[in-house]
Structure 1
Amino acid sequence: MLKATPQSAQIVIIEDSATVRDMLAHIIRDEGYHVATYTTAVDGLKYLQSSPAPRLILLDRVLPYMSSDEFLQALQAEPSLSAIPVVVISTYLYDEVAPLPYTVGYLEKPIAIDDLMQVVRRYCD
Structure 2
Amino acid sequence: MAERQSGKSHSILVIEDDDHIAQILKFMLQRQGFLVTVAADGAVARSHIQASPPPELVLLDVMLPHVDGFELVRVIRAQAGWENTPVIMLTAKNQEPDIVRALDAGANDYMLKPFQPNELLARIRRYLRTVP
State the TM-score, normalized to the length of structure 1: 0.87
Structure 2 spans left out of the alignment, 5+ residues: none
Cross-structure match for 2:63: 62
| Alignment check: 8 A CA contact 2:70 2:101 kept | no
State the 1:51 CA deviation.
2.3
State the 1:45 CA deviation.
2.3
Aligned partner of 2:115: which letter?
I
| Alignment check: 8 A CA contact 1:75 1:82 kept | yes
Structure 1 spans left out of the alignment, 5+ residues: none
State the 1:94 CA deviation.
5.2
1:105 maps to which of 102, 106, 109 = 109
Aligned CA RMSD, in angstroms, stands at 1.7
Residues 119, 46 of structure 1: CA spacing in aligned structure 2 closer, same or farther, 3 A cutoff?
Answer: same
Greater helix share, structure number: 2
Q: Tell me how many residue pairs correspond in the alignment.
A: 123
Identity %: 24
- Trace 1:1-125 onto structure 2 (pairs within 5 A): 1=1, 3-4=3-4, 5-6=8-9, 9-93=10-94, 95=96, 97=98, 98-100=100-102, 101-125=105-129
RCO greater where, 1 or 2, for CA within 8 Å and sep 6 or more? Answer: 1
CA separation in 2, counterparts of 1:2 and 1:85?
Answer: 16
| Alignment check: 8 A CA contact 2:62 2:90 kept | yes
State the 1:91 CA deviation.
1.1
State the 1:2 CA deviation.
6.1
